[in-house]
């Protein structure tokens, strides 16, 4: 679809996710933005140039703030020469899963690697070539050694004597970084968190042994999120809830909304656990894939970075073992699983993959909603939340083969 | 004058919508022949709009060759305000139909020069060839549009200061804060509506019963401005049972006796040519 500049497009009879409800409404757009048809009618006295019947659910485009790779590539394993094509491959292929913007994620690495990779991953607009890059998510290396998970111990750093300056030294230029996952209990961690937050970088707490008081202190200092809740943090205990306890307090304790990432792949977090977290703090839930390179492959044996991986159903295991080696669930599948596991509404499931991550990143004026003047990034879905088509800036960038959805022609 | 009495509000909504539909279809509008419609806002016509939208969705009725002129609008109220008549028309009618935005005319209550705006509106109506069918509702005090008691019966489109009672009654739409209610409005005059080739007035509910009685059973009087339409060659009052409570039994019985004749005005034509001629014949008598 190649619409002329200034062409007004109207999708009518949709069920649009807007203001917390699926509204039977028309979606109007022009030049890549959602527009107010009432203003068009009375001010410009114009109607649509292109009209299309679209009796489907329309959700804001999904935003994945934690994705390590997929479709055979792993960002952290890249070099200066391969990172560009790896990001390009992933951003193109996640369109089929409704993801219209994302934060490529690099996990704990050596300073040399950060200096090598980071300059090659810039914020970039989306389109037919792929989802918008919202900036990097750097997960580590400032994390707790005891909670390192699959991160490489030799690269973990445990002190920040110079505050945020240490981030600059380790990572290099942070101009295209949106999120940093950090453990607040590290020496100098609190000061660093405060400084990062002031610079406009979103701080997420994770790979940490922090108790609830320490985590609260970090929130007061400007941290806004918890990385893959329940994973790589203290287990919930009724007398010592740990960082997890924040989900029960963020609404009560005069804290601003604390967000938390959830991997709803049916493997990493038990459905009962998803339900507990979600029920405690529905407005903070953010669905992430935390996907590894095997995401997007069918069942069978794959070789990734020299390791033989066996994919069966939702599981990616190191072949011949029972060792999980990351999430391979796509965003649309996570949403469907989350919906079923938590008994939430369709609206709440979709907002957890769109509105909430946009709010975390402070971009909900243009992403994560279908309000007037937002970017026309959206997903067309059937009643069971299967993706029929994906739009970025008003342009159909992906459509399913076996659907009766036909994008508007100009 | 005709008086059509149906059972209740939904009956009024359906009859009115069918009548509008019939009139537009029989007019056979086209690119060089637009049907011009005068439109009200408020709770009384809301049901009619819903029905008209249904007809449009079912493919029975298009507004492509229809021009509309709205009766009134508040002065100084932001157009986007949910209580503005622009918002009402957009949300309850225009956004659901295929009317060309260029053909939907509303008075601009935020115009720099309000007098000019009113004069322009009159000119636009003339330019469109006058109004074919003006639909109106009335207030409990018998006002049509914002032509409140005492308005000249030959008035034209103009700025009006609202009666204290109207302002107080409207406060419920503005958070019960009287200070938020607009105190002025632009409105078509009684004379403007009188110029339409046909006028249909919708009246529902017991609280409008006195107004209906004043409108049709007493003399023409500027204190009940809607009574002016007794002098109109083609007027139709459409009401529910509740609105007839103050009428004489004789009046009600007489018009109910004619309902089978009036119902022919809204029936689908079984045999198109004959049907059209029947409707035409009916619609010329009064």
- In sequence order, what DSSP letters do the residues of A264-284 get, joined into one string? -SSSSS-HHHHHHHHHH-GGG
What is the predicted pLDDT for the residue at A319? 78
Compute the nearest-CA separation of B128 from chain A (Å).
Answer: 17
How far is the C-alpha of B124 from the C-alpha of A336, rounded, in Å? 55
- Give the residue extent of every domain in chain B: 2-284
Report residue A405's pLDDT band, with 50, 70 and 90 as the boundaries. confident
Preferred mutation among A8, A27, A37, A38 to probe B, highest tally of B CBs within 10 A: A38
Task: Find, in chain A, the residue whose alpha carbon is nearest to that of B102.
Answer: A45
Which pLDDT value is given to residue B260?
92
Q: How far, CA to CA in Å, does B229 sit from each of A71, A363, B224, B258?
A: 75, 58, 11, 20
Give the distance from residue B278's alpha carbon to the nearest chain A alpha carbon, in angstroms. Answer: 37
Whether A89 contacts A73, CB under 8 Å: yes
| Catalytic residue from among A265, A290, A332, A375 | A290
What pLDDT was estimated at residue A59?
98
pLDDT tens digits, one per residue of A246-296: 998 765 555 678 999 999 988 888 999 999 999 999 999 999 999 888 888
Per-residue model confidence as pLDDT tens digits over A10-63:
999 999 999 999 999 999 999 999 999 999 999 999 999 999 999 999 999 999
- Of residues A26, A37, A47, nearest to B100 (C-beta): A47
Contact yes or no for A42 and B101 at CB 8 A: yes
Q: Alpha-carbon distance A225 to A239, whole Å? A: 23
pLDDT for residue B153: 96
Res. A403: pLDDT tops 90: no
Q: Confirm whether residue A324 is marked as ligand binding.
A: yes
Task: Please answer yes or no on whether A42 and B100 come within 8 Å at the CB atom.
Answer: no
Residues of chain B falling short of pLDDT 70: 269-286
d(CA B135, CA B74): 19
- Whether A150 has a binding-site annotation, put simply, is yes
Domains of chain A: 9-59+370-399 (2.30.40.10), 62-298+326-361 (3.20.20.140)
What pLDDT does A194 receive?
96
What beta strand segments (E) does A123-251 contain?
132-133, 136-139, 177-182, 202-205, 225-226
How many residues can be counted in chain B?
A: 286
Confidence of residue A335 (pLDDT cuts 50, 70, 90): very high
CB contacts, 8 Å: B87 with chain A? 38
Which of chain A's residues have a Cβ under 8 Å away from the Cβ of B90? 38, 41-42
Instruction: Give the pLDDT band (50/70/90) at residue A401.
Output: confident
Assess contact for A225 and A203: CB atoms under 8 A: yes
CATH number for the domain whose boundaries are B2-284: 3.40.50.1360
User: Cα angle at A277 between A272 and A282, to 5 degrees?
Assistant: 125
CB distance A47–B86 less than 8 Å? no
A89 exposure class (CB count in 10 Å sphere: 0-12, 13-18, 19+): middle
């Amino acid at each position: 679809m190649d619409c002329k500049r200034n062409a007004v497009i109207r999708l009518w009879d949709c069920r649009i996710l807007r203001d917390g409800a699926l509204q039977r409404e028309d979606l109007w757009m022009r030049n890549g933005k959602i527009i107010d048809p009432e203003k068009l009618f009375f001010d410009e006295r114009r109607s649509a140039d292109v009209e299309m019947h679209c009796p489907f659910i329309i959700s804001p485009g999904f935003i994945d703030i934690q994705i390590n790779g997929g479709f055979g590539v792993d960002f952290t394993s890249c070099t200066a020469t391969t990172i560009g094509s790896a990001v390009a491959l992933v951003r193109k292929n996640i369109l089929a899963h409704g993801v219209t913007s994302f934060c490529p994620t690099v996990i704990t690495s050596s300073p040399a690697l950060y200096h090598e990779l980071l300059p090659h991953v810039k914020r970039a607009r989306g389109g037919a070539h792929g989802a918008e890059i919202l900036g990097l998510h750097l997960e580590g290396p400032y994390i707790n050694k005891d909670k390192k998970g699959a991160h490489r111990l030799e690269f973990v750093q445990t002190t920040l004597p110079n505050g945020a300056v240490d981030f600059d030294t380790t990572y290099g230029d942070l101009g295209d970084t949106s999120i940093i996952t950090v453990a607040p209990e590290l020496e100098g961690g609190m000061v660093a968190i405060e400084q990062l937050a002031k610079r406009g970088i979103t701080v997420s707490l994770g790979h940490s042994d922090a108790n609830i008081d320490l985590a609260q202190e970090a929130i007061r200092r400007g941290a806004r999120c918890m990385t893959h809740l329940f994973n790589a943090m203290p287990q919930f205990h009724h007398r010592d809830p740990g960082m997890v306890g924040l989900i029960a307090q963020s609404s009560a304790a005069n804290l601003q909304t604390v967000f938390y990432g959830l991997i709803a792949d049916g493997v990493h977090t038990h459905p009962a656990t998803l339900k507990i977290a979600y029920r405690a703090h529905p407005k903070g839930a953010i669905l992430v894939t935390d996907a590894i390179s095997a995401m997007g492959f069918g069942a069978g044996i794959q070789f990734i970075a020299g390791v033989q991986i066996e994919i069966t159903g939702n599981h990616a295991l190191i072949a011949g073992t029972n060792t999980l080696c990351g999430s391979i669930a796509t965003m649309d599948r996570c949403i469907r699983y989350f919906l079923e596991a938590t008994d939430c509404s369709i609206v709440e499931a979709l907002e957890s993959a769109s509105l909430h991550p946009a709010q975390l990143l402070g971009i909900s004026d243009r992403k994560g909603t279908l309000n007037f003047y937002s970017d026309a990034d959206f997903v067309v879905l059937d009643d069971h939340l299967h993706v029929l088509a994906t739009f970025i800036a008003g342009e159909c960038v992906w459509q399913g083969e076996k659907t009766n959805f036909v994008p508007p022609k100009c | 004058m005709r008086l059509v009495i149906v059972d209740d509000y939904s009956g009024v909504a359906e009859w009115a919508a069918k009548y509008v539909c019939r009139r537009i279809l029989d007019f056979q509008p086209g690119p060089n022949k637009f049907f011009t419609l005068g439109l009200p806002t408020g709770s009384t016509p809301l049901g009619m709009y819903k029905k008209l939208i249904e007809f449009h969705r079912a493919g029975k009725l298009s507004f492509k060759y229809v021009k509309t002129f709205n009766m009134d609008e508040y002065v100084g109220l932001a157009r986007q305000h949910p209580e503005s008549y622009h918002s009402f028309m957009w949300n309850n009618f225009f956004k659901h139909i295929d009317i060309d935005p260029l053909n939907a005319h509303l008075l601009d209550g935020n115009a720099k020069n309000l007098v000019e705006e009113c004069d322009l509106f009159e000119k636009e109506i003339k330019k469109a060839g006058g109004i074919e069918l003006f639909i109106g509702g009335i207030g409990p005090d018998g006002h049509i549009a914002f032509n409140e008691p005492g308005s000249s019966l030959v008035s034209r489109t103009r700025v009006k200061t609202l009666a204290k009672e109207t302002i107080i009654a409207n406060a419920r739409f503005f958070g019960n804060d009287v200070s938020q209610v607009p105190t002025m409005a632009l409105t078509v005059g009684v004379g403007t509506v009188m110029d339409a080739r046909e006028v249909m007035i919708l009246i529902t509910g017991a609280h409008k019963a006195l107004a209906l009685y004043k409108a049709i059973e007493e003399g023409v009087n500027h204190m009940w401005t809607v009574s002016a339409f007794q002098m109109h060659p083609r007027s139709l009052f459409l009401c529910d049972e509740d609105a007839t409570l103050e009428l004489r039994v004789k009046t009600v019985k007489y018009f109910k006796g004619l309902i089978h004749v009036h119902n022919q005005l809204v029936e689908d034509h079984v045999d198109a040519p004959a049907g059209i001629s029947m409707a035409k014949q009916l619609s010329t008598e009064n």
